[in-house]
């Protein structure tokens, strides 16, 4: 186990803890840069989703994981970003300008939603954002001069300064670039006074206020920043999905984003990325399993002579092929994560790391939660 010996404040807040960290992140960067050259184009396309969901995850992590404000309506911000971007592109704006405007518009929307949110907490806020997202979805389908309603809107792959990002590989690098920018920006914000104020608000509003944190300013800032990042994700999302329709940005997408941050682990940027990997790769994984389980089970049955195995495999395949099963699997995983591992995937990763670094001395009780009683959230 390494014990970093800190002698100055700068050491405490720097981006990477030590050289070993720099080495591992560098290795990860190299891997992410090289992999698309080795992978099949289909998998490159699927991994692009990881980056887009990663940006969404960072956005929601700032709001939910760091500031403690729950939003059930983030799909609306994604939609506003996507539609604004597509609208400006269609009217001949250069790509960079369109993205800039999309981010600016979503940031403004975030501020507008954030203002009433200052008076609400907990469940009321969740419901208010939910109502907002339902209204916005209706706006998408009715404001046909801008969004084309249910006829939909086609979005081509981006052309930036004359460079076309037409194939999946180049688009992969574009998304990766923006993800890194967003991560870097967010990490810097979080280790600055702004981020510490957010965390203080999350842990106790009253304590934060007593320490001189201006709740109004920092809460609306969190909302605006989160919405702006979501707008950026929306612009990339529009290119990736290539066809915008109002019913994409529904409440289920918002719930999926919340699932992302919870499964990943609340309160860490790592968690946002772990969650993004999970949410982006689970549907293709289910599809692969659906196609391969019956065949492999049948082969196994033929090889061993145990015929019931084949019918079990066929039943599993048929079950996975039914509509709506994916949502149920997501639900099941959400329930299991909240019950068994409230810290999410990142928490599990920390535990595994601690297990190896303290090898024979690991105690499970290190992470054991204290016995907790119900704390009333009615009094605010």
Partner 1 sequence: MAVGCIYGLVALGFVLIYKATELVNFAQGDLLTLGAFVCYMAVVWWGLDYWVGFVIAVVVIGAFGALLDRVVLRQVIGQPQFAVVMLTIGLGAMFRTFASVTWGSEIYTLPTPFGGVWTIGGVTLSHQYLSIIAGTLVLCGVLYAFFNHTRLGVAMQATSQNQLAAYYMGIPVKLIFSLIWAISAGVAAAAGILLAPVTLIDTNMGLAVALKAFAAAVLGGFGSIPGALFGGIIIGLIELYAGATLPEGFKDTAPYIVLLLMLIVRPQGLFGTLTRKKV
Q: Does 308 participate in binding partner 1 (rule CB under 8 A)?
A: no
Q: Does 216 participate in binding partner 1 (rule CB under 8 A)?
A: no
Q: Which helix (H) or strand (E) holds 243?
A: strand 243-244
Q: How far is the CB of 204 from partner 1 (least distance, A)?
A: 9
Question: For residue 45, what are its two tokens?
Answer: 């396309």
Q: Give the dihedral sign, CA 339/341/342/344.
A: negative
Partners of 164 in beta bridges: 159
Q: Which of 13, 20, 30, 123 binds partner 1 (CB under 8 A)?
A: 123
CA distance 234 to 80: 7
Q: Does 378 participate in binding partner 1 (rule CB under 8 A)?
A: yes
Q: Which is nearer to partner 1, 63 or 182 (CB)?
A: 63
| Beta strand 163-164 pairing with 159-160 | antiparallel
Site map 31..70 versus partner 1, x via CB under 8 A? ---------------------------------x-----x
Give 300's Cβ-side CA count (13 Å radius): 13
Q: Does 372 participate in binding partner 1 (rule CB under 8 A)?
A: yes
Q: Which is nearer to partner 1, 304 or 376 (CB)?
A: 376
Q: How far is the CB of 138 from partner 1 (least distance, A)?
A: 5
Helix (H, G, I), strand (E, B) or coil at 159: strand
Q: Which is nearer to partner 1, 125 or 244 (CB)?
A: 125
The stretch among 49-57, 134-142, 221-229, 353-361 that binds partner 1 (CB under 8 A) is 134-142
Q: How far is the CB of 182 from partner 1 (least distance, A)?
A: 23
CA distance 99 to 177: 14
Is 301:307 a contact under the CB 8 Å cutoff? Answer: yes
Q: Which is nearer to partner 1, 37 or 206 (CB)?
A: 206
| Residues sharing a CB contact under 8 Å with residue 108, sequence separation 6 or more, in sequence order | 224
Q: Which of 78, 130, 179, 227 binds partner 1 (CB under 8 A)?
A: 130
Q: Which helix (H) or strand (E) holds 164?
A: strand 163-164
Residue where the block lists tokens 């699927």: 46
Q: Which is nearer to partner 1, 4 or 116 (CB)?
A: 116
Per-residue DSSP letter, 370: P
Cβ atoms within 10 Å of 132's Cβ, excluding its own: 20
Q: Which helix (H) or strand (E) holds 233?
A: helix 215-241
Q: Does 323 participate in binding partner 1 (rule CB under 8 A)?
A: yes
Footprint (CB under 8 A) of partner 1, residues 330-349: 330-335, 338-339, 342
Q: How far is the CB of 331 from partner 1 (least distance, A)?
A: 3
The stretch among 43-51, 121-129, 226-234, 273-281 that binds partner 1 (CB under 8 A) is 121-129
Q: Which of 3, 324, 360, 368 binds partner 1 (CB under 8 A)?
A: 324
CA distance 255 to 230: 15
Q: How many residues bind partner 1 (CB under 8 A)?
A: 52
Q: Which is nearer to partner 1, 121 or 170 (CB)?
A: 121
By C-alpha distance, which of 191, 348, 195 is closest to 264?
A: 348
Q: Which of 41, 328, 352, 361 binds partner 1 (CB under 8 A)?
A: 328
Q: How far is the CB of 157 from partner 1 (least distance, A)?
A: 32
Q: Does 75 participate in binding partner 1 (rule CB under 8 A)?
A: no
Phi, psi dihedrals of residue 243, rounded to the nearest 5°: -145, 115
Task: Write the burial class of residue 250 (CB in 10 Å: 0-12 exposed, 13-18 middle, 19+ buried).
Answer: middle
Q: Which helix (H) or strand (E) holds 104?
A: helix 95-117
Is 271:264 a contact under the CB 8 Å cutoff? Answer: yes
Q: How far is the CB of 195 from partner 1 (least distance, A)?
A: 20
Contact positions toward partner 1, by CB under 8 A?
64, 70, 116, 119-120, 122-124, 126-128, 130-132, 134-135, 138, 141-142, 206, 210, 251, 255, 258-259, 262, 319, 322-325, 327-335, 338-339, 342, 372-380
């Amino acid at each position: 186990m390494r014990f970093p010996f800190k002698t100055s404040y700068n050491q405490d807040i720097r981006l990477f803890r030590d050289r070993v960290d720099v080495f591992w992140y560098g290795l990860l960067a190299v891997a992410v840069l090289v992999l698309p050259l080795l992978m099949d184009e289909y998998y490159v396309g699927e991994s692009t989703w990881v980056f887009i969901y990663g940006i969404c995850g960072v956005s929601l992590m700032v709001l939910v994981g760091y500031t403690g404000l729950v939003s059930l309506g983030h799909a609306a911000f994604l939609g506003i970003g996507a539609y604004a971007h597509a609208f400006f592109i269609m009217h001949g704006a250069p790509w960079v300008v369109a993205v800039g405007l999309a981010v600016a518009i979503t940031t403004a929307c975030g501020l507008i939603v954030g203002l009433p949110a200052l008076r609400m907490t907990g469940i009321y806020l969740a419901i208010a954002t939910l109502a907002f997202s339902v209204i916005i979805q209706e706006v998408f389908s009715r404001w046909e001069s801008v969004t084309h309603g249910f006829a939909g809107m086609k979005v081509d792959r981006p052309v930036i300064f004359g460079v076309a990002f037409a194939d999946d590989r180049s688009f992969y690098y574009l998304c990766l670039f923006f993800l890194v920018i967003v991560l870097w920006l967010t990490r810097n914000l979080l280790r600055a006074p702004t981020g510490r104020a957010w965390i203080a608000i999350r842990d106790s509003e009253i304590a934060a206020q007593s320490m001189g944190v201006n709740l109004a300013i920092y809460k609306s800032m969190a909302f605006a920043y989160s919405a702006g990042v979501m707008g950026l994700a929306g612009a990339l999302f529009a290119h990736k999905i290539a066809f915008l329709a109002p019913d994409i940005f529904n409440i289920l997408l918002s719930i999926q984003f919340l699932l992302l941050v919870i499964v990943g682990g609340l309160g860490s940027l790592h968690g946002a990325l772990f969650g993004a990997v999970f949410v982006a790769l689970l549907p293709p994984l289910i599809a692969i399993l659906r196609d391969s389980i019956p065949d492999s089970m049948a082969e196994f049955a033929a090889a061993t002579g145990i015929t019931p195995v084949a019918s079990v495999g066929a039943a599993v395949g048929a079950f996975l092929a039914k509509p709506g099963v994916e949502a149920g699997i997501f639900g099941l995983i959400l329930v299991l994560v909240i019950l068994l591992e409230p810290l999410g995937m990142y928490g599990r990763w920390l535990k595994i790391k601690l297990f190896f670094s303290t090898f024979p001395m690991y105690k499970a009780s290190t992470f054991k939660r204290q016995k907790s009683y119900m704390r009333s959230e009615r009094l605010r």
